[in-house]
Structure 1
Amino acid sequence: MRLMYERCAALDVHKKTVTACPRWTQSDGQVASEVRTFGTTTPELLEMLD
């Protein structure tokens, strides 16, 4: 039996950037993902909350 998580994310953290890649299962069973890169200042990191 294979364990499947409905939502997960990965972070690649560097000195000047953070790249976030969330993945989630849509209602039709398809897996969607999005990759975004953020700066490391406080306002830029707070953008990851959206």
Structure 2
Amino acid sequence: MEVLYKQCAGLDVHSETIVACVLLEDDQRNVTKETETFPTLTKDLFRLLKWLEDRQVTHIAMESTGIYWKPIYNILEDYFDITLANAQRIKNVPGRKTDVCDAEWIAKLLRHGL
């Protein structure tokens, strides 16, 4: 599949935590993955913003049930191209799933423009 975004992130958003997975591709087409979990307090959302900026992320996709995505979107919208994904449409294969796996899956889908 064709890669559309070389520096992108997937966010799995919950009421008390955000799991962020960043996929970064270098000039030799090597992909590195970094994952971190952040609380959802305002100070931590700004720490998430700094973390994403430090990694030169350009595009973000996030999945959230309910309204938990709103404060995150409000803080990040001026800095990144953000896609809010419908949780039902990006479901991964059923089985052993974790928030870290979900964040990585979201980042992979975004990376290829899905």
- Could you state the TM-score of these two structures normalised by the residue count of structure 1? 0.84
The CA distance in 1 between the partners of 2:49 and 2:35, in whole Å, is: 14
Q: CA RMSD in A?
A: 1.1
SS of equivalent to 1:44: helix
Deviating above 6 A after TM superposition, structure 1's stretches of 4 or more consecutive aligned residues are: none
Unaligned runs of 5+ in 1: none
Partner of 2:2: 3
Question: If each structure's strand is expressed as a fraction of its own residues, which one has the higher value?
Answer: 1
Unaligned runs of 5+ in 2: 51-114
Q: CA deviation at 1:21?
A: 0.5
The CA distance in 2 between the partners of 1:48 and 1:27, in whole Å, is: 25
Q: CA deviation at 1:48?
A: 0.8
Partner of 2:89: none
Count of aligned positions: 49
Give aligned-pair identity as a percent.
37
Question: If each structure's helix is expressed as a fraction of its own residues, which one has the higher value?
Answer: 2
The higher-RCO structure (CA 8 Å, 6+ apart) is 2
